[in-house]
């Protein structure tokens, strides 16, 4: 109960949630998890520092010497394609005085050169140049390379994990296996990145994820334009170890009732809404993909980054179609932002603690809460 939240320890707040119940008996995570600083800090340590985070795109690090930078749970991260073509990830913190080694979002370099005092590292992270540093005792360049991190490429995405010693179940396979099977079948690696939009939302990052994972429960009420093109009766989901997918058949074109703008850019046989634990979503329609990365900015604020991908021939030719598609997504996003901000206010109310799940719709949402709780308890 919200009244009690402030007097409970973090551990008490976490064990209050029972993740072993079947869906018909399950409760949502307690509301305090959505506004409590201690829970947010535990998430930073146990969730974001131990899970695979999408940090950039394959096309940004395609050539030897190309690199990209990112931030995971406050840790500066660097991804580099070395001269042999091997993709590597490092801590982007210089071993001399902790400045960031590379600052640009992405680029091309033969050596990684820190802008503060000019130390240089090669593309495998080895320390090479230390200007005016002769005579320092007990200092070996070999011991002062950039600490490596785990990286995996699943085209067109690059994921990094800060974990030094992953245990079973924390490998990238358990996150990506099912997603990759389907994304390869849909040839998403052939799509081309087109544009990015960012939204800052006044809600906890989990509110946005919950909203994504409610199995289409809010589509008819919050997104009337989208409801007309989706065959809601055929909406279903599949749960995997660290991911799930909601699948919705589109209505046949004669039966579509949506606004013309929506129907013209959302068609095909199915829409697939993938979620990869904890904060990355991939929306796949026929020949269109957009991704949502949700980054916490504080207990009650998050940033959602939308990346849009289209087939190369459309990027080069049918820009009208692309513009319409992005406008439809923007409209849907505005509708989601309004409801997410309202939910955040409601969660902080004294009257709300936990809620229940629709068996028909919300298995995906409970799945998220269960995996989250596992990470917070260990
Ligand atoms: S902090 Fe990088 S060279 Fe000094
Ligand atoms: Fe929505």
State residue 253's pLDDT score: 59
Q: Could you give the dihedral angle defined by the CA atoms of residues 162, 163, 168 and 169, in that order, rounded to the nearest 10 degrees? A: -30
Nearest-ligand number for the alpha carbon of 116: 1
Residue range 76-89: average pLDDT? 98
* Euclidean distance between CA atoms 294 and 292, whole angstroms: 6
**Reading across the β-sheet that carries 53-57, which strands appear in turn?**
53-57, 157-161, 148-154, 87-91, 75-81, 66-72, 106-108
pTM above 0.75, yes or no: yes
Q: Report domain extents, the chain.
A: 55-161, 172-377
Query: Is there an atom of ligand 1 within 6 Å of 112 CB?
Result: no
pLDDT tens digits, one per residue of 235-285: 899 999 999 999 998 876 555 555 544 544 555 688 899 999 999 999 998
Ion ligand 2 nearby residues (CB, 5 A) = 336
* Euclidean distance between CA atoms 212 and 362, whole angstroms: 10
Beta-strand (E) ranges in the chain? 53-57, 66-72, 75-81, 87-91, 106-108, 112-113, 120-121, 127-129, 148-154, 157-161, 191-201, 236-239, 243-249, 270-276, 280-285, 288-298, 301-311
pLDDT tens digits, one per residue of 41-75: 999 999 999 999 999 999 999 999 999 999 999 99
What CA–CA distances, in Å, run from 165 to 47, 91, 171, 376?
15, 15, 10, 18
Confidence of residue 2 (pLDDT cuts 50, 70, 90): very low
State residue 212's pLDDT score: 98
* Euclidean distance between CA atoms 95 and 109, whole angstroms: 19
In the predicted structure, residue 147 carries a pLDDT above the cut 50: yes
Residue range 218-224: average pLDDT? 92
In the predicted structure, residue 365 carries a pLDDT above the cut 90: yes
Residue 97 alpha carbon, nearest atom of ligand 1: 1
The more confidently predicted of residues 179 and 312 is 179
Domain 172-377, CATH: 3.90.380.10
* Protein residue with least CA distance to atom 1, ligand 1: 97
Residue range 166-175: average pLDDT? 85
Mean pLDDT, all residues of the chain: 92
Residue 119 alpha carbon, nearest atom of ligand 1: 3
Confidence of residue 1 (pLDDT cuts 50, 70, 90): very low
pLDDT tens digits, one per residue of 99-139: 999 999 999 999 999 999 999 999 999 999 999 999 999 99
DSSP 3-state of 142:
helix
Question: With pLDDT > 90 as the criterion, what percentage of the chain qualifies?
Answer: 75
Q: Name the DSSP class of 269.
A: S
CA of 210 to the centre of ligand 2 (A): 10
State residue 229's pLDDT score: 78
State residue 262's pLDDT score: 56
Structural contact between residues 121 and 145, judged by C-beta atoms closer than 8 angstroms: yes
CA of 255 to the centre of ligand 2 (A): 22
Cα R_g (the chain), whole angstroms:
22
Q: What is the CA angle 294-264-222, rounded to 5?
A: 45
Q: Could you give the dihedral angle defined by the CA atoms of residues 200, 2, 33 and 372, in that order, rounded to the nearest 10 degrees? A: -130
Residue range 84-91: average pLDDT? 98
Query: Is there an atom of ligand 1 within 6 Å of 44 CB?
Result: no
Question: With pLDDT > 70 as the criterion, what percentage of the chain qualifies?
Answer: 94
Residue range 168-184: average pLDDT? 88
The answer regarding whether domain 55-161 maps to CATH 2.102.10.10 reads yes
* Euclidean distance between CA atoms 54 and 118, whole angstroms: 29
């Amino acid at each position: 109960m919200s009244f009690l939240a402030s007097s409970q320890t973090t551990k008490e707040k976490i064990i209050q949630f029972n993740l072993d119940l079947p869906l018909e008996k399950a409760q949502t995570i307690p509301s305090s998890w959505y506004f409590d600083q201690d829970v947010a800090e535990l998430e930073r340590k146990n969730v974001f520092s131990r899970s695979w985070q999408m940090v950039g795109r394959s096309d940004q690090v395609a050539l030897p010497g190309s690199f990209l930078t990112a931030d995971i749970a406050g840790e500066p991260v660097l991804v580099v394609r070395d001269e042999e073509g091997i993709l590597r990830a490092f801590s982007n913190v210089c071993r001399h005085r902790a400045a960031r080694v590379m600052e640009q979002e992405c680029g091309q370099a033969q050596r990684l050169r820190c802008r503060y005092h000019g130390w240089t590292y090669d593309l495998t992270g080895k320390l090479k140049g230390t200007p005016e540093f002769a005579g320092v005792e007990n200092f070996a360049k070999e011991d002062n390379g950039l600490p490596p991190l785990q990286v995996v490429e699943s085209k067109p995405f690059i994921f990094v994990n800060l974990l030094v010693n992953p245990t079973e179940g924390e490998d990238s396979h358990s996150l990506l296996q099912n997603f990759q099977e389907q994304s390869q079948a849909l040839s998403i690696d052939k799509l081309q990145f087109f544009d990015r939009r960012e939204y800052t939302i006044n809600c906890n990052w989990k509110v946005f994820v919950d909203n994504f994972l409610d199995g289409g429960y809010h589509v008819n009420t919050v997104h009337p334009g989208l409801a007309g093109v989706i065959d809601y009766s055929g909406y279903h989901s599949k749960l995997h170890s660290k991911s799930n997918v909601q699948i919705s058949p589109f209505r046949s074109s004669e039966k579509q009732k949506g606004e013309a703008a929506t129907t013209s850019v959302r068609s095909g046989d199915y829409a697939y809404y993938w979620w990869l634990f904890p904060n990355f979503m991939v929306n796949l329609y026929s020949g269109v993909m957009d991704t949502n990365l949700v980054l916490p900015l504080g207990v009650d604020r998050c940033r959602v980054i939308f990346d849009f991908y289209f087939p190369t021939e459309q990027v080069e030719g049918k820009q009208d179609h692309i513009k319409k598609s992005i406008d439809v997504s923007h409209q849907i996003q505005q509708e989601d932002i309004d409801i997410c901000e309202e939910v955040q206010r409601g969660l902080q109310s004294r009257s709300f603690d936990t809620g229940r799940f629709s068996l028909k719709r919300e298995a995906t949402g409970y799945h998220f809460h269960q995996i989250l709780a596992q990470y917070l308890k260990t």
